[in-house]
Amino acid sequence: MAKGDKDKYTDKQKRKAEHIEVSYEDRGVSQEEAERRAWATVNKESGGGNKSGSGRGGQGGKKSSSEYGAESK
């Protein structure tokens, strides 16, 4: 297993990492590198292990109209 304790990950995250790892191995990547890439992908997509509290999936507040490129008159 890759470096670090994986106890903080959900079962879904562990299954996802395993699936990604197998996919890389099928494409000829070494087992060690495939595992590293798989966990990096899971971390990128989910932000790492379990997080306490609800509503942690968002990217922040809404953008203002000026951030969308709207011009004021």
The predicted-structure confidence for 13-71, as pLDDT tens digits, reads as follows 999 999 999 999 999 999 999 999 999 999 998 887 766 555 555 566 666 666 676 66
**pLDDT of res. 58:** 59
Q: Specify the length of the chain in residues.
A: 73
**pLDDT of res. 32:** 96
Per-residue burial over 29-67, b if 16 or more Cβ lie within 10 Å, else e, is beeeebbbbbbeebeeebeeeeeeeeeeeeeeeeeeeee
Domain-wise residue ranges, the chain: 9-45
**pLDDT at residue 1 tops 60:** no
pTM: 0.61
Q: Which residue has the higher pLDDT, 45 or 4?
A: 45
Tell me the HSE value of 17 on the side-chain side, using a 13 A CA sphere.
25
